[in-house]
Amino acid sequence: MIISAAAFGLIVGGLLGLVGGGGSILAVPALVYGVGLPLAAAIPTSLVVVGASSAVAVLPRLRHGVNWRLALIIGAAGTVTAYLGAAVNRLLDPKILLLAFAAIMVFAGIRMLMPSTSVGGACALPGGGVNWRSCLPKAIATGAVVGFLTGLLGVGGGFLIVPALTLILGLPMALTVGTSLVIIVINSAAGFAAHLGDLQINWAVTAAFAATAMAASLAAGRIGTGIPDRVLKRGFGILVLMVAAYVAAQALLS
């Protein structure tokens, strides 16, 4: 289990470093189907791994790659709803959770593959600056939805934050990556805290997964700054759709 966890940690960390998301959406399936953990243990484990990896991955982007105001607003909104998501999680069958997971992945993947016809948005005006009257409600709503799903499904929310920041809030991909990583750290901490009441975690597996994920995220974060936005968005969308198909098939056949 430890060797498998370390191997999957490289993949999850690499994705987080490159696109600021996607690692969390792979962490839960990797821990369940690749490592062999039950879903109840995979959810808090994924939050530890993804939170730590995101904190490392954001380091190369601290100076010019993070919109700190948006990150804190979205993260704060998600902290509140993460507890609600964790409460709902305890009431649902694991198969239903995995199918919901796959459905959300399909939506996010398709949106990332769709061409973007607009330039900028309320939170990133074409000439620079932010229209806070329009941006603030969207940012709070985005944070609330992502936070709920963090508690419900055990993900840092990057697979939703990345499309939301680019397609709804209008941030360029280069700024989206760093901003999403900061939000993922906040959401992961809130989601993990929400699961403390019934915590099931294998710390040896978690440590192996986290160690390789952090190393890979730091290396990928340095490489990702030189890759064009269009390539990152398309690759992210295709990967999410592939994993969604696998998760749905496993949930229906198990």
Rounded CA-CA distance 14/57 in Å is 9
Q: What angle do CA 105, 21, 67 make, to 5 degrees?
A: 125
pLDDT band, residue 27 (cuts 50/70/90): confident
- Report the SS3 class of residue 142: helix
**pLDDT tens profile 99-143:** 887 887 788 788 778 776 555 667 877 666 778 888 899 999 988
Mean pLDDT of the region 153-165: 70
Would the pLDDT of 212 be above 90? yes
- Residues 28-40 have a mean pLDDT of 84
What is the structure's pLDDT at 136?
92
Chain mean position to CA 213: 14
Please report, for residues 76, 96, 198, 251, the alpha-carbon distance to residue 185 in angstroms, rounded to integers and kept in the order given.
11, 26, 21, 28
CA distance 183 to 224: 18
> At residue 186, does pLDDT exceed 70?
yes
Q: Tell me the mean pLDDT in the region 54-61.
A: 83
Which residues are paired to 124 by β-bridges?
A: 121
As a whole number of angstroms, the distance between CA 85 and CA 195 comes to 10
Q: What is the pTM of this model?
A: 0.75
